[in-house]
Amino acid sequence: MHIIRVGFNYKTTPLEIREAFTFSEQRLNEAVKQLSTEKSILENVIISTCNRTEIYVVADQLHTGRYYVKRFLANWFQVPMEDFAIYLQIAENDEAIEHLFKVTSGLDSMVLGETQILGQVRDAFMVAQNEQVTGTIFNELFKRAISFAKRAHSETGIGAQAVSTSYAAVELAKKIFGDLSAKHVTILGAGEMSELSAKNLQGAGVDQITVVNRSMSNAEALAAKFGAQADTIDHISHVLKETDIVISSTGAHVAILTKDMVQAIQVQRKGAPLFIVDIAVPRDVEASVETIDNVFLYDIDDLQHIVDENLAARQAAATKIDLLIEEEMVYFTEWIQTLGVVPVITALRQKALLIQANTMESIERKMPDLTAREKKVLNKHTKSIVNQLLKEPIKQVKELAASDQREDALNLFMNMFDIHDDVQALLKEQSNTDGKIKPANHNNISFPLLNHLTSK
């Protein structure tokens, strides 16, 4: 069996294509169930966000697995396969597993190291698991990826540094004022950057926000999203009397705050500290404002310097996470290899216990006067002999699964104990009539060894 990842992301796919292939949250459960009915698809998880749509599957064959995922996409979105095939990125087995670890850790995001994707992966996995379209392989893989991402963020602090100007502005304010919860913040402008600033301010615990804009309706629309106050630019002097922090991002072509205006406001404020972040281009605040006592002015170049330093720190952390992913890949591969011997171990145990049961029947026929207690003692001790005898062979077969010659060694082991037919029978029981293996029933089969076990 094989793990395959098929998807679109922001790096290679235009926005209009990504939008066309976005699964709605309301129908995601229906989508994973429909995908599970496709031939060759044994398990699946669909991750769909504004920046990516990625489908992860466990398939019995690479070629058919790739084809039926693409056919599913074509049918679900009613788009001919040839119209979107050039945008698809496909990864298989180790490459697909590594990509999942990177996505979940934020290493493949537009904002390096962001944590939102971790929650999105977790939610997607939970949908698939609740719809029973995952099995042992994805239950283990996705749990490992989610746990790993949490540990990587904690150990490296990759998400601790601001890498957007609006976020950097808020972080800078926190460094100067400490706790922002009691501060009054005025946002000049009602565009995208202003909205991002408002989000980051609320995340920092700010309750008092006033949105100021030339258009009162635009100011009110943005303020309504955050439970803030709204006012027009004509009242800016009055608003700033009660303001501790100003974040300005308008589309004005001339300065909104001049030195004379801010000096007059500071007289009314009795010189209380005023922190101004101007992230507009052209600038909203005259550069000479920074010469006023107790006025701290930062422009977009100041913030970009902070962002660049923080991005360098995130990239260094990402390098560390890459190394951790390599270790995690080794652990997962070892786990997969160990899975391959489970049907072998099961067959060995079943054969040994059958011999023990037949022996007990023979003893009871030859010694019909045994009491119930004596039978119980004999049964317990003969099973104990079986378990002790099997302990070392089971240990050895697990080690064989991790060796370079595991296929030949495993075949020799099955022949040695004459259990090859028993393993075949176990695999056959776990197969559907059409040759697919049910998600709930292929729990004990490792995809690297499946072809070997079923071809002998």
Active site residues: 50
Cα separation, 140 vs 129, in Å, equals 11
> Which helix or strand (DSSP H or E) is residue 163 part of?
none
Judge whether 154 and 86 are in contact, CB under 8 Å: no
Looking from the CA of 327 toward its CB, the CA atoms found within 13 Å total 7
Cα separation, 438 vs 448, in Å, equals 17
Q: Which amino acid would we find at residue 183?
A: K
Cα separation, 327 vs 157, in Å, equals 19
Q: How many CB atoms lie within 10 A of CB 233?
A: 17
Order across the sheet with 89-92: list the strands. 41-48, 52-59, 2-9, 89-92
For 455, list phi and psi in degrees, rounded to 5: -100, -10
Looking from the CA of 445 toward its CB, the CA atoms found within 13 Å total 28
Cα separation, 50 vs 275, in Å, equals 34
Cis before 282? omega within 30: yes
Which of 135, 130, 138, 203 is closest to 164 using CA atoms? 203
Q: Per residue, what are the HEC states of 388-454?
A: HHHHHHHHHHHHHHCCCCHHHHHHHHHHHCCCHHHHHHHHHHCECCCCCECCCCCCCCCHHHHHHHH
Order across the sheet with 245-248: list the strands. 229-232, 208-213, 184-188, 245-248, 274-278, 295-299
Q: Which amino acid would we find at residue 401?
A: A
The token pair at 386 is: 């079986």
